[in-house]
Amino acid sequence: MKAKDKHRINILKYLSNTSNNWPSRTKFGMIILGITEATVRNHFTGLELDDIEAEGLILRRKRCVSSSAKVDKGLMERAETGDPAACKLYYQRIEGWTEKSIKELTGKDGGPIKTETELSPESQKLLQEITKNASTCCT
């Protein structure tokens, strides 16, 4: 097995362990592999490290599934008692609900926004032809 493959496996083992703190990339070499940062850069591109980190995060989350289920159960129990914050979080987490804010824009003095679009003579002619043809073909 190549050194690069061994390093990748060791990084994934470290990242997937939930008891380990997530290191910065500059510390990957020293903390996980016992090599210099420059050596890490010689083995891996930035994109390869992105992929390794993403895979490590997936593995870490898989190890937490039973704990996540316990947290979800506790959240549901609090929501069932009527705790408003738990109800809101339950619907956000379990049901995918989000609060949406709607912003309406208005024109002068709260009136409609006026838009002025000027069509070129060619566009006006084309629009007239389209509307004329639409009334004959769609009846």
Shared domain for 13 and 58, answered yes or no, is yes
- Residue 23's CB is within 10 A of a number of other CB atoms, namely 15
Shared domain for 44 and 90, answered yes or no, is no
Question: Does any domain span residue 21?
Answer: yes
pLDDT tens sequence across 46-69: 999 999 999 999 999 888 888 888
Question: Does any domain span residue 114?
Answer: no
Shared domain for 8 and 34, answered yes or no, is yes
Lowest mean pLDDT among 85-89, 115-119, 126-130: 115-119
Range of the domain at 88: 64-98
pLDDT tens sequence across 20-50: 999 988 888 888 998 888 898 889 999 999 9
Question: Does any domain span residue 23?
Answer: yes
The number of folded domains in the chain is: 2
Shared domain for 39 and 76, answered yes or no, is no
Question: Does any domain span residue 120?
Answer: no
**pLDDT at site 107:** 78
Average pLDDT over residues 82-87: 90
Shared domain for 31 and 76, answered yes or no, is no
pLDDT tens sequence across 85-98: 988 988 888 788 88
Shared domain for 12 and 58, answered yes or no, is yes
Shared domain for 72 and 54, answered yes or no, is no
- Helices 65-80 + 84-93 axis angle, to 10: 140
**pLDDT at site 10:** 92
State which of 41, 63, 85 marks the end of a domain.
63
Average pLDDT over residues 114-132: 75
- Helices 46-63 + 65-80 axis angle, to 10: 60
**Per-residue pLDDT at 117 exceeds 80:** no
**pLDDT at site 139:** 47
